[in-house]
C-alpha cells in the first residue's frame, strides 16, 4: 500500500488530511493548480479502501464529515467503502450521511443503493429538496418518467421555488407536452404560487412577448415577495424588456432591507441599468461596492471589469448637463 507521503500534494479537505495523518506543515495540495489525474485518484481510493478496514472505526460526526468531504472531492467509491467498514447505526438516522452516500452511489451508477439512501434521507428531513432532486435525476436517467414526475412534484411541494426541480420538471414533461410545455408549467406554477416556475415558463415561451415575464413577476412583487433570487429574476426581466428605470430603485430598496448584503447579480443588474440610463457615476459607484467583496466568483469579477470599462468610457456629467 502506498505511503501517505505519496498524497501530500493531492488537494484534499481537512477531515481527510486528519484521517491520513498529513499535518499542515507537510501538506502542499493547496498549492497545486491542476486537477489530480485518474490514476492518482484511483491510488488514493485504493489506499483509503485498505486503511479503513484495518483502522479503528471513526466516531459518528468524524465519519459523516469525512464521507461528505470524499463525495465533494469526487471520490465516491472511497465514501461507500468507508461507510461499509463502519457500524450501520452511525449513518442510519443521519440525513447528511444518507445524502452523501446516495450521491456517492449515483456517481458510481449504483442506482439501487442510491435510491435506498436518498429515500431514507427524504424520510429524515422531508423539507430538504436535495433528495427529491437526486431521485428525480435517477429516474430520468433510467427513463422512468412517472416516478421522476412523482418525486419532482413532491419536491416542489416541499420547496416551490427550487430552480433545479423546475428545470427537471420541464425535462420530464418535454416529450409529453411538446410546444404546450410552457402553458402546463405556468398552470402548475400558479397552483404552487411559485415565481421560479412562472419565470421558467416565461423563459420557455416563444411568443416573443418580452413583457410576459415582467407582468408575471410584478404581480408576485406586489404580493410582497422580496427574496433576493426573485429580485434577480425580476430585475433581469426588466432589463430584457428595456424597462431600466425601475431597476435602480428596486436594488436600492433591497439593499436597505438586507441584513447581510445583496447577491452580486443584483448589484450588476443595478449597474447595468445605470449604464443603460447613461448614469456613469452611479454605475461606477455600484460596481465599486460589489467589487469590494473578496469572495466573488471569477464570473462576477469578469463581469465587473467589463462593466467598469464600459462605464469609464462614458463621458462624465458636466455642470451644464445637471441643469437639463
At 317 the pLDDT is 67
Confidence of residue 318 (pLDDT cuts 50, 70, 90): low
Mean pLDDT, residues 271-297 taken together: 95
C-alpha cell read off for 250: 428596486
SS (H, E, C) 174-199: HHHHHHHHHHHHHHHHHHHCCHHHHH
Output the CATH code of domain 207-318: 1.25.40.10
C-alpha cell read off for 158: 416541499
CB atoms within 10 A of CB 154: 17
At 322 the pLDDT is 47
Q: What is the pTM of this model?
A: 0.89
Domain edges within the chain: 1-125, 207-318
C-alpha cell read off for 115: 435510491
CB 132 within 8 A of CB 155: yes
Q: Which of 257, 282, 258 is nearest to 271 (CA)?
A: 282
Residues contacting 207, CB < 8 A, separation 6+: none
When mean pLDDT is compared across 153-157, 269-273, 282-286, 311-315, the lowest value belongs to 311-315
At 138 the pLDDT is 98
Residues contacting 68, CB < 8 A, separation 6+: 96, 97, 100
Q: What is the pLDDT of residues 138-194, one digit of tens each?
A: 999 999 999 999 999 999 999 999 999 999 999 999 999 999 999 999 999 999 999
The rounded percent of the chain whose pLDDT value lies above 90 is: 86
At 91 the pLDDT is 94
Please provide residue 11's backbone torsions phi and psi, each rounded to the nearest 5 degrees. Answer: -60, 120
At 60 the pLDDT is 86
CB 273 within 8 A of CB 244: yes
C-alpha cell read off for 225: 415577495
Could you name the CATH architecture of 1-125?
Alpha Horseshoe (1.25)
CB 39 within 8 A of CB 47: no
pLDDT at 324 over 70: no
Task: Decide: helix, strand or coil at residue 97.
Answer: helix
At 282 the pLDDT is 96
Q: What is the pLDDT of residues 90-133, one digit of tens each?
A: 999 999 999 999 999 999 999 999 999 999 999 999 999 999 99
Q: What is the pLDDT of residues 62-96, one digit of tens each?
A: 999 999 999 999 999 999 999 999 999 999 999 99
The C-alpha atoms of residue 26 and residue 65 are separated, in whole angstroms, by 22
Amino acid at each position: 500500500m502506498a505511503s501517505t507521503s505519496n498524497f501530500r500534494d493531492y488537494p484534499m479537505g481537512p477531515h481527510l488530511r486528519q484521517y491520513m495523518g498529513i499535518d499542515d506543515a507537510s501538506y502542499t495540495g493547496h498549492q497545486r493548480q491542476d486537477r489530480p489525474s485518474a490514476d492518482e485518484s484511483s491510488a488514493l481510493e485504493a489506499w483509503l479502501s485498505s486503511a479503513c478496514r484495518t483502522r479503528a472505526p471513526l466516531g459518528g460526526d468524524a465519519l459523516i464529515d469525512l464521507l461528505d468531504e470524499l463525495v465533494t472531492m469526487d471520490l465516491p467509491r472511497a465514501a461507500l467503502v468507508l461507510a461499509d467498514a463502519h457500524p450501520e447505526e452511525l449513518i442510519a438516522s443521519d440525513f447528511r450521511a444518507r445524502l452523501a452516500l446516495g450521491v456517492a452511489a449515483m456517481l458510481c451508477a449504483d442506482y439501487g443503493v442510491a435510491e435506498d439512501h436518498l429515500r431514507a434521507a427524504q424520510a429524515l428531513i422531508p423539507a430538504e429538496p436535495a433528495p427529491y432532486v437526486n431521485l428525480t435525476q435517477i429516474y430520468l436517467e433510467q427513463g422512468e418518467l412517472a416516478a421522476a414526475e412523482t418525486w419532482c412534484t413532491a419536491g416542489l411541494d416541499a420547496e416551490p421555488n427550487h430552480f433545479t426541480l423546475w428545470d427537471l420538471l420541464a425535462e420530464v414533461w418535454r416529450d409529453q407536452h411538446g410546444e404546450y410545455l410552457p402553458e402546463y408549467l405556468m398552470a402548475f406554477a400558479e397552483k404552487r404560487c411559485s415565481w421560479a416556475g412562472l419565470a421558467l415558463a416565461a423563459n420557455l415561451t416563444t411568443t416573443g412577448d418580452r413583457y410576459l415575464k415582467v407582468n408575471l413577476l410584478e404581480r408576485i412583487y406586489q404580493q410582497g415577495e422580496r427574496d433576493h433570487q426573485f429580485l434577480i429574476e425580476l430585475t433581469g426581466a426588466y432589463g430584457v424588456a428595456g424597462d431600466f428605470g425601475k431597476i435602480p430603485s428596486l436594488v436600492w430598496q433591497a439593499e436597505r432591507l438586507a441584513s447581510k448584503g445583496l447577491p452580486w447579480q443584483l448589484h450588476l443588474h443595478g449597474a447595468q441599468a445605470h449604464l443603460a440610463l447613461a448614469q456613469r457615476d452611479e454605475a461606477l459607484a455600484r460596481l465599486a461596492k460589489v467589487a469590494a467583496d473578496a469572495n466573488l466568483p471569477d464570473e462576477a469579477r469578469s463581469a465587473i471589469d467589463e462593466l467598469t470599462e464600459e462605464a469609464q468610457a462614458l463621458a462624465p456629467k458636466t455642470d451644464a448637463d445637471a441643469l437639463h
